Amino acid sequence: MQGIKMSFIGKLLAGLVGGFAFAFIGYMVIILPLGGNEALVGPILFGLWALALVIAFKAKRAAKAWRRLLIGSAIFSLMLPLSALIFSGVQVAEIGAESSGAATAGAVAGGGIVTVMTGFVSFFMAAIFLLVGLLIGRDKPESS
C-alpha cells in the first residue's frame, strides 16, 4: 500500500511540476504563430497541462513520467525557433502592408535577430531537457 501511495505522489509531482514546463514551452510554440491571441491563452495552457498529467499517470513509474515529459519539453524547445520564425513573418507582413520600406527592412532584421536568439537559447534548453530526460527512468540492465 505504501508503494502505491508513493508512486501516485511521484506521478502527481511529475505531472504538476514537469507538466508546467511542458505546458509553458508548448504554449509558446502554439501561441506565437497565432500572434499572441489572448482568448486562447487559458485553454491552450491548461489543455497542455492536462495532457501532461495524463502522460504522467499513464506511465508505469514516476521516473518514466519525468522521462516522457522532459523529452516532450525538448521536442517543444526544438520547435520554438520555427514558431518564432512564423511569428516574425506575420509581423513583417503586417508592418510591410502599412509602412514604408525602411520599416519593413527593420522588421525583417529584427525578426531575424529574434529567430536566431530563440534558436540559440532553445537549442541549449532542448539539449538539457533531452540529456536529463534520457538519463532519468532508464530500464536497469539485468545482471547475468
Query: Where along the chain do its domains lie?
Result: 2-135
Distance CA 51, CA 19 (A): 8
Percent of the chain exceeding pLDDT 90 equals 49
Residue with the bigger pLDDT between 49 and 106: it is 49
- Per-residue cell: 56: 504522467
H or E element in which residue 122 lies: helix 101-135
Average pLDDT for the chain: 87
pTM: 0.84
Alpha-carbon torsion, ordered 76, 9, 63, 74, to 10 deg: 10
What's 35's DSSP letter?
T
Cβ-based neighbour number of residue 1 at 10 Å: 5
Given a cut of 90, is residue 38 above it in pLDDT? Answer: no
C-alpha pair distances (Å), 61 with each of 1, 68, 129? 15, 11, 19
What's 38's DSSP letter?
G
The answer to whether 79 and 115 have CB atoms below 8 angstroms apart is: no
